[in-house]
Structure 1
Amino acid sequence: MSWATAVDLFAGAGGFTAGATQAGVRVLWAANHWQAAVQVHADNHPDTEHSCQDLHQADWSRVPAHDILLASPACQGHSRARGTDRPHHDATRSTAWAVVSCAEFHQPRVIVVENVPEFCRWQLYPVWRQALEALGYQVAPHIIDAADHGVPQHRRRVYIVCTRTRSPLMLSMAPRERVPAASFIRFDAGNWSPIDKPGRADATKARIQSGRQRFGERFVMPYYSSGSGRTGRALSRPIGTITTVDRWGVVDGDRTRMLTAGEYRDAMGFPSTYRLPAKHRDATQMLGNAVCPPVVTDLLTEIRSAA
């Protein structure tokens, strides 16, 4: 199957676009409701047309025709890490219907939708899937861990591949060698502080001590909740899932700090030259919501080969 162009719905920081570009696909148009994210996407993909809008209200006739529809609808309404703002998160589930609306108008050859695995347990998922099938698509969900595609992070997501083929396109992608967290930790960067500083929580100190016993003087660990366990994890394996808020820290002997935005970027598999917003909080939120570019590159390459 040959193709050349794509659009990116709910584009965020631009992971779908970055991965598609690496696969030889030109992303014509990208949209997101958050202006700061649109600006970051435009900074890194200046040849793409951008729109800041609520895609519930999109006029699809103003979107360029394309071969591939890429979309990452809001996941908060499906994720187990929902936070406290449940009514808002419940409302975000309807963003997935923008995929159907765009597909009905443009009828692209391929659709790839990314979300948390719980998306497939959404009460309306069967109806959403039937709507795409009624438009002529074969729907094939794939659960993919980014760590199997050269990303130094365990991040399990569902990639729903929709094609105009005779049967659903079930892909079998060979895993890549796993990349350790040590690949992106910079011990000469960041804002370090003494572990034994006044006010350090006893639970944090206990987690650090437990980590030392298992991993030595250098390791990463979750500062909040249980994360990958109360002892963190070795630098010789991928880090756990990067979230939309600061959560992962690094320990080096008697000092510790949270990860930097640049380390989050590298842990997500973005190029080291990828430009981030100046505000750390904005960068963390965008990256925690992003799609890992290397997964997209591998996925589109395999679809091209298999279709």
Structure 2
Amino acid sequence: MKAIDLFAGAGGFSTGAQMAGIEVVWAANHWPVAVDTHAANHPGAIHVCQDLHQADWSRVPAHDILLASPCCQGHSKARGKAANNPQHDASRSTAWAVVSALEYHRPAFGVVENVREFMDWNLFPAWRLAIQALGYQIAPHMIDAADHGVPQHRERLFLVLSRSERPLMLRLPEHKHVPAADIIDFSAGSWSPVQKPGRAAATLARIEQGRRVHGGRFLTAYYGNEAGGRSLARPIGTITTRDRYAVIDGDRMRMLRADECRAAMGFPAEYQLPPQHRTAVHLLGNAVCPPVARDIINAIRVAA
């Protein structure tokens, strides 16, 4: 089987497809850094850097499965879903590229990843009808990456599209949860004292609360709804596009390294990332967890 990857980003969907034995023949993204990163790790695919609203689908190779992660920022609670925001309205509209690609090529399957709120989009009913008009059934799956051996709790919506009589509800395997402790190297990184001058009072309060619950070693979130600490014995919380988690080790602390974020997303250790920490974290925070993509594609092949 062959696949194409729309909005390929760091390449999580493509990496998962390769884990499942699928050849990725074409990948596209509008951001040159993402395209360069994908190309470095998937040199056998054709790469295109462009706005997919303007894609010429006749130049895309034939394929059996379409993989797509349209922009989620306009749907996510964390990034402002409000209407009449031109930037977010534009990001939501990227989902229509999936329709145009399916219309031209009519592959047997498609998998579309996004946040849960994608189905609350005002135009989702119209988008769904367009997909169905092309002969596809739509089967929504809410999946936590931690259930697929990824050391991270990350819930995402995966819409499985199939040219079948009924929606293809998958029987997915569940893997043992992997603790955050497995991805953190306490001998590496740039540590600083917890009581460093200028440390925010709110940060110190979160750390103190974490110590009371978890002892000397734990994680703490710099933003979000995690008020105190997080045990290293459970998967980490959702990796985002900017530094979120700090590691606390007694009287010292540091932010997660990019290679630790890579491991938390389920990418192979040899997967190449941009050398700039901020850019690498941004790419990873937008990515699909490869083991989740692997399990979905394997389940599609069994169900088909």
TM-score (norm 2): 0.97
For 2:173, give the aligned amino acid. A
Q: CA deviation at 1:90?
A: 2.5
- In 1: Cα distance, 2:258 partner to 2:247 partner: 13
Who is 1:15 aligned against?
12
2:267 matches 1:270: yes
- In 2: Cα distance, 1:84 partner to 1:73 partner: 15
- In 2: Cα distance, 1:145 partner to 1:172 partner: 14
3-state SS, counterpart of residue 40 of structure 2: helix
Map 1:32-181 to 2 at 5 A. Answer: 32-82=29-79, 86-181=85-180
Q: CA deviation at 1:165?
A: 1.0
3-state SS, counterpart of residue 77 of structure 2: coil
Q: CA deviation at 1:62?
A: 0.7
Q: CA deviation at 1:83?
A: 5.6
Who is 2:209 aligned against?
210
For 2:174, give the aligned amino acid. P
For 2:158, give the aligned amino acid. Y
Unmatched segments (≥5 aa) in structure 2: none
Provide closer, same or farther for how the CA distance between residues 84 and 232 of structure 1 changes in structure 2, counting only shifts above 3 A. Answer: farther
Who is 1:189 aligned against?
188
- In 2: Cα distance, 1:117 partner to 1:172 partner: 20
Task: Out of 190-199 and 79-88, give the one that drifted further.
Answer: 79-88
For 2:255, give the aligned amino acid. M
Q: Is the 8 A contact 2:192 2:254 kept in 1?
A: yes
Unmatched segments (≥5 aa) in structure 1: none
Q: Is the 8 A contact 2:213 2:229 kept in 1?
A: no
TM-score (norm 1): 0.96
For 1:152, give the aligned amino acid. P
Map 1:209-248 to 2 at 5 A. Answer: 209-226=208-225, 229-248=226-245
Q: Deviations over 1:163-201 (max 9, x none)?
A: 011100011213110001011011011110000110011
3-state SS, counterpart of residue 161 of structure 2: strand
3-state SS, counterpart of residue 81 of structure 1: helix
Tell me the C-alpha RMSD between the 2 structures. Answer: 1.2
- In 2: Cα distance, 1:248 partner to 1:305 partner: 38
**Structure 1 stretches of at least 4 aligned residues deviating more than 6 Å after TM superposition:** none
Provide closer, same or farther for how the CA distance between residues 171 and 84 of structure 1 changes in structure 2, counting only shifts above 3 A. Answer: closer
Q: CA deviation at 1:84?
A: 10
Q: CA deviation at 1:40?
A: 0.5
For 2:119, give the aligned amino acid. C
Q: CA deviation at 1:202?
A: 0.9
For 1:90, give the aligned amino acid. D
Task: Out of 170-179 and 90-99, give the one that drifted further.
Answer: 170-179
Q: CA deviation at 1:247?
A: 1.0
Percent identity over the alignment? Answer: 64
- In 2: Cα distance, 1:84 partner to 1:156 partner: 18
For 2:272, give the aligned amino acid. R
- In 2: Cα distance, 1:89 partner to 1:184 partner: 34
Count of matched residue positions in the alignment of Structure 1 and Structure 2: 302
- In 1: Cα distance, 2:188 partner to 2:120 partner: 41
